[in-house]
Structure 1
Amino acid sequence: MQIEILDPETEDEIAERKLNAEKARKALPKLLKFVRHIPFAEDVAASYYCAFDKETPGRVRGVLLAALAYFVVPTDVIPDFILALGFSDDATVIAMAMGIVSGHIKSEHRREAQLLLGTYKEKKS
């Protein structure tokens, strides 16, 4: 059975997507705690979904997981509690990782990220 990208999602796919968003919501407490203060939150979440996608090549997963690990580790070059600067090093690491692997971050990874962050807007046709 071939699935077309533009086929509408089934109820099961929508339920699975919501379940995955809930799992990620529990797995990414730092992201969700500071989400309003992080302008690149969607990139972080999309990177997370891409890193755990079975179709993502191993080297891409490695780059993304390293960047995500840097993001969640509380001790980094510039401590996150320093206003205006705290996330600048995290943003730089995420941006570099995204630049390296951007071709592997798919629209479904972005949609999952938007669902997680509550920013998903369904396209009307």
Structure 2
Amino acid sequence: MDYLDNYKRDNISESELNAAARKAEKKKNVLGKAFQKFKDLWALLEAVMSGRMKIPGKTKAIIIGAILYFLIPTDLIADFIPAVGYIDDITVIAMVYNEVKDLIMKAKSKGII
């Protein structure tokens, strides 16, 4: 299945989540501060998908979109371009994180993530 097809659904497979986590772990030096934001987004989505937390469908779709965007190597700025390839990925992660930051803090305070 093409990753772009996933934008049309409100779910993400466990293998896609794991692929995103592996990519983030490999690129954590490039991601800098966005690495922790990505991990928080991933943890929130994992909590939602496991039923430990409920969030609006639109919010879930936005988080899934950000994770899938991160997975696509040939997005707006191709990831293989040295020094600038992850700028768009970092921007998307930061924007989505800022949108759901309150949910992340709530989940952390309740020990959900």
Structure 1 stretches of 4+ with a deviation exceeding 4 A read: none
Q: State the structure with more CA Rg.
A: 1
Q: 2:41 aligns with which of 25, 33, 47?
A: 47
Partner secondary structure for residue 48 of structure 1: helix
3-state SS of paired residue (1:105): helix
How many residue pairs get aligned? The number is 89
Shift of 1:112: 9.4
Cα RMSD (Å) of the superposition? 2.8
Q: Identify unmatched segments of 5+ residues in structure 2.
A: 1-13
Once structures 1 and 2 are overlaid, which stretch shifts more, 41-50 or 92-101?
92-101
User: Residue 10 of structure 2 corresponds to which residue in structure 1?
Assistant: none
TM-score, normalised on structure 1? 0.60
**Matched-pair contact (CA < 8 Å) for 1:51–1:64:** yes
1:78 and 2:77 equivalent? yes
TM (norm. structure 2) is 0.66
Identical-residue share of aligned pairs (%)? 27
C-alpha distance in structure 2 between counterparts of 1:71 and 1:112, whole Å: 24
- Which of 38, 43, 47 is the matching residue for 2:31? 38
Between structures 1 and 2, the one with greater helix share: 2
Shift, 1:108, TM fit? 2.9
Specify the SS of the correspondent of 1:52. Answer: helix
User: The residue matched to 1:85 in structure 2 has which SS?
Assistant: coil
